[in-house]
Amino acid sequence: ELDHHPASDDDVNYDDEAFSSSSTIAAVPSSLLETTSDDESPTTTTTTTSQVVTVHSSLAAGPIDYARGWAWQQNLLNQRLNQRRSQGDNDDSNNNNNNNNVDVDTILILEHEPVYTLGRGANENHLTSLCEDGKNRLARSCRGPGSARLSMDKLDPELLTMSSSMEQSVEHLLLSNNMANITPVMLELPNNNNNNDTAVEEVPIYRIDRGGEVTHHGPGQLVVYPLLDLRRAPLEQDLHWYLRQIEQVVIDTLHDYDIATVRDDSNTGVWFGPSKVAAVGVSSSRWITTHGFALNVSPNLQYFDTSYILPCGIEGRGVTSMEEIMRNRGETTIPTLEEVATTALTKMEAVFGIDIEQN
């Protein structure tokens, strides 16, 4: 797969469902990882007395289009990579205090409008209700104009510097030639929105640059995208470690709501009994992480119906949410996305040993 990757030469992508979840990290076979040479070679971790991570949240604005959230990540990532190239790829964590520095760690908090996404190596046949033409457009071999693949070879540096605000930069990116020829496949579903009288709902589908199989994002789901440089202390330059820490953040978050969850012996993510409550899918470029986790707080679970998709490509397992778990035990007060996000950020500080500041 890496020989055909159009985005960059240094991505590391982890299959959401392919990882062993045993406590012994070394037990994860290398054949389950999509890696390239840049991220395989260890380098010295930068030492620093404190790592400050900035949080940007769009929750107050409501659900946003998936492509916009993806472009937000890409803009931040490529600004950092562009600055590193101009500085000879030197990493200086002390530059976090420099107002002109863009090579800073960030966490994006948001919720998406309804969408289905496939990881880079995902099987499009797990979209069980999709027509053959749609599956062909989502095939791993389908690239270029008319494809539904969100990926980029390189970004024009001018796109990263021509705007004074992140919002303007994302707008320029969405209107650029990189995005103009990307057209999602539309999946027609019975309308699951009680506030809309339309009989059919069209939900976009993209193939994207993360590990993992097919999943759904939508309103009521907390999506967290950490863009962290794993070469900077107190983080570790180990993507196995990083993925386990992400799982631990979710487990600790749910523990605060008296929801006992676990890792799975065969499938990455966080599980409540036989059902997945949070999905994990990550990517890394020059050890800067993208994508992250999606925690089901109160989404419409009909989007995960197996007549539409095989969630995460796993047969015989279900998907649940905090709301479903809490209502099944008689609770009527369900936390908001904002409340769960606040809890999750507190857990990220503890698990990763970082300081988080709100933007």
Give residue 152's pLDDT. Answer: 64
Bigger pLDDT: 2 vs 251: 251
* H runs (alpha helix) in the chain: 37-40, 66-86, 132-137, 157-161, 166-175, 177-180, 239-255, 322-328, 337-352
Is the pLDDT confidence value at 262 over 80?
A: yes
pLDDT in tens, 105-128: 999 999 999 999 988 888 887 888
- Between 123-127, 160-164, 311-315, the lowest mean confidence (pLDDT) is in 160-164
Specify the pTM: 0.82
Question: pLDDT value at position 158?
Answer: 58
Res 125: pLDDT? 79
CB 222 within 8 A of CB 299: no
* Angstrom distance (rounded) from CA 280 to CA 300: 19
The set of catalytic residues is 312
| 326 or 87, greater pLDDT | 326
Residue, of 83 and 36, whose pLDDT is higher: 83
Mean pLDDT throughout 186-205? 77
Q: Helix 66-86 vs helix 166-175: angle between axes, to the nearest 10 degrees?
A: 110
* Phi, psi (degrees; rounded to nearest 5) at 185: -75, 140
Of 281 and 254, more confident: 254
Tokens of 217: 């994002």
Residue 355's pLDDT is 96
pLDDT recorded at residue 153: 54
User: Which pLDDT score, from 0 to 100, does residue 188 have?
Assistant: 87
> Which has the closest alpha carbon to 3: 119, 124, 136, 141?
141
Q: What pLDDT, on a 0 to 100 scale, did the predictor assign at position 18?
A: 32
